[in-house]
Amino acid sequence: MQLIDVIKENRYITGLVQGFERSHLQLNALHESDAELIRLPGQNLIMAITTDSICEEIERGMYTDPYMIGFMVITINISDLAAVGAHPVGLILNETLKHNLSVDFLTQLQQGISDACRRYKVSILGGDTNFSSRMQIGATAIGCIRTGNPVTRKGCNVGDHVFCTWRLGMGNAYALEKLLPTGDNNMSYTPIARIEEGIIISKYASSCIDTSDGCIAALDQLMRVNGFGFTITTPVSGYIDPAARSLCECNKIPEWFMLAGPHGEFELLFTVPPGNVEALILEAQSNGWKPLYLGSAVEEQAIILNVNNNMQQFDTARIRNLFYNGNSDIYYYLSELMNIEHTQVGGEL
């Protein structure tokens, strides 16, 4: 089996598309980019296209606020454009609505969409509305890469440094709070896709992915696409959001769980060749943000995290496949996560 298909979700997608012919206009291979990259016939411009729906999150009761659902459907799609360094052009909506939705619910849903569009300076270009017994809100985002030079998940080399745009873990913290019966259900969560940062990152990075499936899934996917591993020397506590940390403390669960769950946030995780680091940091600072240093790409195909100053290797395939097993009970999931092997590598730092 290919390294990439050890992950059940990747394998499922590989199977689904195996009979499809790839387009000669497409620049990226399967699994290797957050957005599809298309060179239009006879044009220099590269289009970036991506699609994502909010479906299971509604069905499982994780997303209940219509404004948040509206804001998120734009954010999840814009984030994929950010990860390839695209300028957003617009979005097409796919709304499957229940027949009995109140006017207030619909108004808030559309307000969330509208506000997110304003935030990302982008417009809704069109869409399709269906009616069903079950709600699903999706979109397709279209962007263009003006430099003609997109960044994808592939391109990282051993020795490249790993950064993220901001603290991680809030996506899983939100999900845990929503799914635990003891959660207070009042955690606010309106993450912002990193469009401006992505455009800067695309000039300097060798690979980039968003953390929408969680940090560990992002690192694991970069590892499988590039054939290298990652040693993250910055302690987990140093790049996890304080609110996520305190949730872990209250619930007596390890902080790295906030990196392991599949409900990530919309930060960008990217690798930068050593020679580009200074220029990246300078341009980032002049735009008001600072990349968080995590670690570096290494020859050995393994993901090693610094947990309480112990360097530990995680079975990231098992972590990712755990969620795909289909058992949606949160306590089962947490107990299985607790059983996942993480081997100490080297001594205490």
Residues found near its own copies in the complex (CB under 8 A): 12-13, 16-17, 19-23, 25-26, 35-36, 38, 40-41, 43, 45, 47, 49-53, 55-56, 59, 87, 89-90, 92-96, 99, 106, 110-111, 113-114, 117-118, 122-134, 136, 138, 140, 142, 144, 326
The Cα 130–Cα 108 span in angstroms is 18
Q: Do the strands 123-131 and 87-97 form a parallel or antiparallel pair, or are they unpaired?
A: parallel
Question: How many other C-beta atoms lie within 10 A of the C-beta of residue 114?
Answer: 15
Using the minimum distance from each CB to its own copies, give the nearer residue, 43 or 308. Answer: 43
Q: Which of 78, 75, 110, 77 is nearest to 95 (CA)?
A: 110
Q: Which residues pair with 88 in a beta bridge?
A: 143
Give least dist CB 101 to its own copies, A.
11
The Cα 73–Cα 138 span in angstroms is 6
Give least dist CB 130 to its own copies, A.
4
Give least dist CB 112 to its own copies, A.
10
Using the minimum distance from each CB to its own copies, give the nearer residue, 128 or 329. Answer: 128
Using the minimum distance from each CB to its own copies, give the nearer residue, 122 or 175. Answer: 122
Give least dist CB 334 to its own copies, A.
21
Give least dist CB 31 to its own copies, A.
10
Give least dist CB 140 to its own copies, A.
4
Using the minimum distance from each CB to its own copies, give the nearer residue, 165 or 212. Answer: 212
Using the minimum distance from each CB to its own copies, give the nearer residue, 129 or 188. Answer: 129
Using the minimum distance from each CB to its own copies, give the nearer residue, 19 or 61. Answer: 19
Using the minimum distance from each CB to its own copies, give the nearer residue, 90 or 254. Answer: 90
Give least dist CB 61 to its own copies, A.
14
